[in-house]
Amino acid sequence: IIRILLFQFEEVRIPAPWGHISGRWYGNRTERPILAIHGWLDNLGTFDRLIPLLPDYIGVLCIDLPGHGRSSNLPAGVQYSVGDYVYIIPRVMREYGWKKVSLLGHSLGGVLSFIYASMAPHTVDMVICLDILVPLRVNIDYLKSAVEKLLVEEDRQGDGNLGEPPSYTLDHMVKVLAKGSQYSVAPEFAHHLLHRQIVKSKQFPEKFYFGRDARVKVYNYIDVDPGLAAEMARQVGKKPFLIIKGGRSPYLSKSGHAMSILAKDNPHYAFHEVENGTHHIHLHAAEECAQHIVPFIRHHRPPALTSWSLNGREDQPSRSKDQRRFFRWSSKKRSKL
């Protein structure tokens, strides 16, 4: 089996009004890739162990969400939110001229993939969600705490004498990351997430601090109740949809009804559980995840595709007026790859 090598990538910068979205395009660059989106407080390094296990005939474009990794922060006074993150998907599509998108998402990235697929199913050809589907519910205590913390952080960032965040030795950062993930990220895998989010301290030469925007810690959820989740699943329809759950993770416990709707009369739906898997199953159990992901990709994005051309612009039959209206892009110049 020919696979993608982890060093076979090109760094990409996708322009945005607030700056840019950073990414790495692994493997084949002559055809439309899979768009991979990481989870909350993570970055594209989360896919480091999974990427080399995927077939090389199809590329994978991994991105850092705004405020994460090496992507630009949102402007001052703007709160990060799930709804605005969903908008990143069609923005990437517009940049490269895709009329379809294949989505691979972990945690927050899986939530974004599910929401987008429910909003524009005619533009999605397959979805892979790693250990999540429906966004977690929120309560008034979280909302109150989030607003208070956001105001404190905005004051800190707005101070002309803004100091460095807390800094740590690398060994300590590994422990902080592991604890912050509730030990879903084992210490031996922490470096995959650290290499794109640490900054060397100027005050303490032997220490580092987390370079992500601290405001992402209190991003605004979309509160999806069971009725809305069910309707979203119905909108997705019979799209190829793969969900992989960590056996020790609770993040799919509230998604049962939506999952049953996705599965109903859908021969392209698949669900697998990785025994003893934590929330970051693709990091610590990459091989087990690949056993399910690789055949799913080969079946729904096989090597011999005729739906798009080598320049990445798909040759699709004309769509209905309602479908075309969903994306009415400008003629803005797109990135040259």
The catalytic residues are 107
Question: Which amino acid appears at position 306 of this protein?
Answer: T
Q: How far apart are CA 197 and CA 211, in angstroms?
A: 5
DSSP reduced 3-state for 117: helix
Residue 230: closest CA among 266, 267, 256, 268: 256
Q: How far apart are CA 45 and CA 51, in angstroms?
A: 10
What are the two backbone dihedrals, phi and then psi, of residue 44, each rounded to the nearest 5 degrees?
Answer: -65, -15
Q: How far apart are CA 74 and CA 243, in angstroms?
A: 31
Q: What is the 3-state secondary structure (H, E, C) of 185-243?
A: CCHHHCHHHHCCCEEECCCCCCCEEECCCHHHHHCECCCCCHHHHHHHHHHHCCCCEEE
Q: How far apart are CA 271 and CA 243, in angstroms?
A: 5
DSSP state string for 263-308: HTT-TTEEEEEETT--TTHHHHTHHHHHHHHHHHHHHHS-S---SB
Give the up-direction half-sphere exposure of residue 255: CA atoms within 13 A in the CB hemisphere.
25
DSSP reduced 3-state for 70: coil
